[in-house]
């Protein structure tokens, strides 16, 4: 019998909030980023994302630079704090129940997110999801460079990355009986249109309207 594939977006889908946006706020609170220069840009990038006109290259240059300024051990310790103070309160029981349900059915589960894998891998682990596709920060000699490795998993980039990931396993989307993709954002429409069972989760206005027209299920994972 064919296995099912369950893909999950992370920010504002499994999480009741945005890990990327809040990582910058967290660094500002820790005194590691200047509030004046970073707060306004962070807000603008977040607005651009919601409006569907984010310049992903500019955003990643902004978002990954702080990783290049500290040793990995320091960043890892900082992330533990970030998980406790910021992320855990955003993790909902409904989201965990959905993940558990797919795992119990034996489905192959994967988080696919535009947010970088440094920020998101521990969150995926906290949900009990082994597989993660995030935008990969470049590393050299055990330190982040501030650059990106490979294709950012954003918009059409999510399609590229899932196809690459499945190909490495000798699979395609057609290998699965049912392929689910849960997302809140119209930025994810390129991948949502390819799976057999797209689900809009606490969807933005554009996605909600599109889902309604297509007859896609719409759910909430907020507790």
Asked if 69 and 33 touch (Cβ cutoff 8 Å), the reply is: no
Known catalytic residues are: 9, 11
Q: What H or E segment, with its residue span, contains residue 200?
A: strand 197-201
SS (H, E, C) the chain: CCCCEEEECHHHHHECCCHHHHHHHHHHHCCCCCHHHHHHHHHHHHHHHHHCCCCHHHHHHHHHHHHHCCCHHHHHHHHHHHHHHHHHHHECHHHHHHHHHHHHCCCEEEEEEEEEHHHHHHHHHHCCCCEEEEEEEEEECCEEEEEEECCCCCCHHHHHHHHHHHHHCCCCHHHCCCEEEEECCHHHHHHHCCCCEEEEECCCHHHHHHHHHHCCCEECCCC
Asked if 18 and 46 touch (Cβ cutoff 8 Å), the reply is: yes
């Amino acid at each position: 019998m064919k296995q099912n594939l369950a893909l999950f977006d992370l920010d504002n889908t499994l999480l009741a909030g945005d890990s990327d946006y809040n990582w910058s706020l967290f660094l500002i609170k820790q005194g590691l980023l200047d509030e004046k220069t970073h707060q306004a840009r962070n807000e603008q990038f977040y607005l651009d994302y919601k409006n569907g006109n984010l310049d992903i290259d500019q955003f990643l240059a902004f978002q990954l630079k702080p990783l290049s300024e500290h040793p990995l051990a320091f960043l890892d310790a900082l992330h533990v704090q970030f998980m406790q103070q910021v992320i855990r309160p955003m993790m909902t029981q409904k989201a965990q129940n959905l993940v558990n349900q797919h795992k119990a059915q034996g489905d192959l589960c994967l988080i696919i997110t535009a947010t970088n894998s440094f920020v998101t891998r521990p969150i995926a682990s906290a949900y009990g999801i082994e597989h993660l596709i995030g935008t990969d920060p470049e590393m050299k000699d055990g330190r982040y460079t501030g650059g990106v490795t490979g294709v950012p998993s954003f918009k059409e980039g999510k399609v590229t990355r899932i196809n690459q990931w499945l190909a490495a396993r000798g699979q395609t989307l057609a290998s699965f009986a049912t392929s689910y993709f849960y997302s809140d954002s119209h930025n994810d429409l390129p991948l949502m249109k390819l799976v057999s069972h797209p689900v809009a989760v606490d969807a933005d206005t554009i996605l909600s309207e599109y889902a309604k027209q297509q007859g896609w299920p719409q759910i909430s994972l907020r507790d």
